[in-house]
Amino acid sequence: MGNTPSSAIPSPTRTSFDEKDPNRDSFVEVSDSLSALHITTPLSSDGSLTLSQVASWEASASNNSKVRLARTVFSQTDIRSVLTSRAARIADQHVFNLALDFKTGPVTNQKSSGRCWLFATTNVIRFGVMKRLKLKEFQLSQSYLFFWDKLNKANYYLELMIEHADLPIDDRLITHLSGDLISDGGQWDMVVNLIETYGLVPQSIYPESTHSSLSAPLNALLKTKLREHALILRTLADTLRSAHVREETVIATLRAKKEELIREVYNIMTATLGVPPPPNKRFVWDYIDADDKVGRWEGSPKDFVEQLVNKPYAPSDCFSLINDPRNEYSKLYTVDKLGNIWGGRPILYVNTEIDVMKAMVVKMIKAGQPVFFGCDVGKFSDRDAGIMDTALFEYENAFDIRLGLSKADRLQICESAMTHAMVITGVHLDNTGKPVRYRVENSWGETAGKEGFFVMTDAWFDEFVYQVVVPKALAPRDLVAVYEAGDKIVLPAWDPMGALA
């Protein structure tokens, strides 16, 4: 396929046509389009890169003083640091005229793990808990959610392997599912599944371990075992069906074998993360409030949610708005085969315009509610300065290029996706009430940004924010109706909207 020589592109030729021909208009459009194209003959007829091409490029570049300066500077310096815009740094002040009326702490740190979605969720939820109990510092246990998520993702993967045991091992779906099969990442509906099933506990009840903060070694081991488990189940399925065993018996036998196999996963996880509190077992939590008074709470993880979390807005009563310009707005979307708890709440998104999402952020901050959002944090951002701004790096001027991809283009060509979840806690509005920049609470510790907080410009929001989570009580009625109707469009398993923050 790749060795066939390319043929020369023929020049457009004049062709006569009947004035009454019904296809006349389309012919004229095609002819005009071809005339507008700059059609040339390639220097390399077979598509290979030739030394003569390189020589011509070098001759042009060596005579360009801007290119010569760039070669002097950029070969010795990180291009991001040398091309950081001074104007952007000055403009992106950590000043906000609309912010939440209560400060939480401490700044959280997910360390060497991909648990940002769990940190963002617990950072949103702890706001109400701390305000209610008058706490100065408090964290919910991210590790508790992490444990149950990882165990359920293992089960979810093996269930999919049972469901699709008849597909070839190299089928695209099997290959995709067996890739990053138990990612640390997740989505809002996944964390709602966890909270509804297992509840929540303070971090002091189920604290961090080495492998919750450093997840790569644990993930590597679990992936190895789960892929082995998948092959065992596929082989067993083939054996049973070849023996003409009834299908219901096949499924029951495979699930029994899966339960035997997944016990190994449980043993690995409890050894590395610790045994979590059972969701219905009572525990005692002693705490000290902002007035240095000792408090006491007693109940189960599920009681904790019911008594301290579900008001004014329960996590289960919130849903995701997304901005995906590839797809139709005011429609409900899901991603095939995406989830963590088998049979649990599906991952659902209502697609809407970016200005609707911005308006929701402002409305929620005014209502005193922090905002969970998903974005592509690695684009045009400075971790140390805590700045996310499309004008931050002057690449176009330095290299004499234009970065012309639209938001839809980036999604289509795998240039961008939701890679990180954080929390918006403030907005700076201009004199017309429109957002200029946003205050972002991250989970990378106090040394990132300004004491753990970032500033995100409105232009960056346009290009790299994909999701905000909103309570139904505050969301536009028409979008709530789209969500509640449940008439969802299913995107393929490998769609970028299936990326896990």
Catalytic residues, by residue number, are 116, 420, 442
Which residues contact residue 97 at a Cβ distance below 8 angstroms, ignoring those fewer than 6 apart?
Answer: 427, 428, 429
For the CA atoms of 276, 279, 280, 281, what is the dihedral angle to 10 degrees? 20
Q: Which pair of structure tokens corresponds to residue 143?
A: 């590790």
Q: Tell me the pairing of strands 420-429 and 465-471.
A: unpaired
Q: How far is CA 317 from CA 188, 328, 480, 481, in A?
A: 11, 24, 11, 13
* E runs forming strands in 260-317: 283-288, 294-299
Can you give the C-alpha Rg of the chain in angstroms? Answer: 27
- Helix, strand, coil percentages for the chain (3-state, nearest 5): 45, 15, 40
Q: Tokens in use for 299?
A: 């109940």
**Dihedral (CA of 482, 484, 487, 493) sign:** positive
Strand, coil or helix: what is 360? helix
| Residue where the block lists tokens 């001759």 | 59
Q: Please provide the DSSP assignment of 194-218 as one string.
A: HHHHH---BTTTS---HHHHB-HHH
Q: Are strands 294-299 and 283-288 parallel, antiparallel or unpaired?
A: antiparallel
Q: Classify residue 414 as left (phi > 0), alpha (psi -120 to 50) or beta.
A: left
DSSP string, 155-205: HHHHHHHHHTTTS-TT-HHHHHHTSSTT-S---HHHHHHHHHHH---BTTT
